[in-house]
Amino acid sequence: MATTRLGQAQAQATLPAQDLGRARRFYSEQLGLEPVEDTETGLTYELGQGSRFLVFQSSGKPSGDHTQIGFSTEEIEAAVEELRSRGVQFEEYDLPGLKTVNGVAEEPGGRRSAWFHDSEGNLLGITQAA
């Protein structure tokens, strides 16, 4: 249970973009998302159950080394196939404890995940719970 006001607040993920127009096209054309707020400095997207994320204008570069936003789905194969049909390229991994087959990894405990980069180099993931 939260012990501060912050623990009761809603959270919003943020992603840097060196080219906001390019990012807007990627999120619209490849992911099928439209911003609920579009300003000169950022794009706010709203997803199911009140979750939101912001893509903001930045001169910095994302690391791309870790998942910066994870999307949840009940059918990962269908989500991966739909995004592939829109031009999204999924990462393939062959590491100790993590190997993808056709872009999807089976993780310990039965969770299944897939990863891709957005137009700005941010690493995004899709997960299906066990």
Mind listing the pLDDT tens digit for each residue in 21-50? 999 999 999 999 999 999 999 999 999 888
Average pLDDT, the chain: 91
- Does any domain span residue 5? no
Would the pLDDT of 104 be above 80?
yes
In a domain, 1, yes or no: no
First to last CA, the chain: 25
| Distance (Å, whole) CA 115 – CA 80 | 9
Residue 103 lies in a domain: yes
In a domain, 66, yes or no: yes
- 6 domain residue, yes or no: no
Question: Does residue 69 sit within a domain?
Answer: yes
Domain membership of residue 3 (yes or no) is: no
Domain containing residue 99: CATH number: 3.10.180.10
pLDDT at 94 over 90: yes
Kindly state the percentage of the chain with pLDDT values over 70. Answer: 94
pLDDT band at 17 (very low <50, low <70, confident <90, very high): very high
Question: What is the model's pLDDT at position 61?
Answer: 80
The predicted structure's pLDDT at residue 49: 82
The closest alpha carbon to 44, from 35, 34, 56, belongs to 35
Domain span including residue 87: 11-128
* Count of structural domains, the chain: 1
Between these two residues, 61 and 118, which has the higher pLDDT value?
118
**Higher per-residue confidence, 97 vs 8:** 97
With respect to residue 2, please indicate whether it lies within any of the assigned structural domains: no
> Residue 48: what pLDDT?
85
